[in-house]
Structure 1
Amino acid sequence: MDMSIEHLIAKAEQALAIALQNQQASAAIAAIKEIGVLSGLRVEKREHTRQNASDLSDDELADIVRRGG
């Protein structure tokens, strides 16, 4: 299965079209946001309040490793 950014954007665009066709505003907004994130036009900011790795639990450190960053 192709999991390129282009493929994911195409799928999100399909979801957007279906949402608009069915007058599902929340689903349409979600698809638009996803297209923005995938295309790099929308950046989801997250606040990081912890400064040191020693402040993290083992589970949190494992999650970071699994996500690759």
Structure 2
Amino acid sequence: MELAGFCSGVTGGPLKKHSCADWAGIQFGEIELAFIRICTDPIGHPFCLCRDKGVVRTDQGRVRPGRD
């Protein structure tokens, strides 16, 4: 996670405690900047797997709009 280490050095934000070779995070208040390993399709095109798409963070935690 060279990019995560670089961003940590530039921003002064430490890597999250459980960062590893496949995932790293830097916490900025309520926002987390996450770094994951590059995933590729069967012929090698890179793509990103994003977590929590559509989730809104509130004082009560994470909320998915339109769901109870």
Same fold by TM-score greater than 0.5: no
The normalised TM-score by structure 1 is: 0.25
Larger Rg: 1
Q: Higher RCO, 1 or 2 (CA under 8 Å, sep at least 6)?
A: 1
Identify the structure with the greater strand proportion: 2
**TM-score, length of structure 2 as denominator length:** 0.26
